[in-house]
Amino acid sequence: MLFIIRGVKLWGINSVTASIKRREFVWGEVNNLIDFDKLEASIKTVSLEDLIDIYPKMLKGETSGRYIVDLNK
């Protein structure tokens, strides 16, 4: 429900019901379908302590992309 409320579109394939031939084709096309440089640029790795500053900005809608919290950082 959160995705619908936020206007996020989830795109994907149910690979369980797809034929092996179709799965092989799609996985073979991944490099052509996804811009991995853009994807990587939208992901930020932060420490748990960094969240003190980042989380309020998230709540205000001032951030974009995805954050990975590295507990070892």
Query: How do residues 54-65 score in pLDDT, each as one tens digit?
Result: 999 999 999 999
Each residue of 28-54: pLDDT tens digit? 888 888 888 998 999 999 999 999 999
The Cα–Cα gap between 52 and 63 comes to 14
The total number of residues written for the chain in this structure:
73
Expressed as residue numbers, the domain containing 53 is: 2-69
- The whole model's pTM is what? 0.55
The Cα–Cα gap between 7 and 14 comes to 21
The Cα–Cα gap between 42 and 66 comes to 6
Query: Structurally, how many domains does the chain consist of?
Result: 1
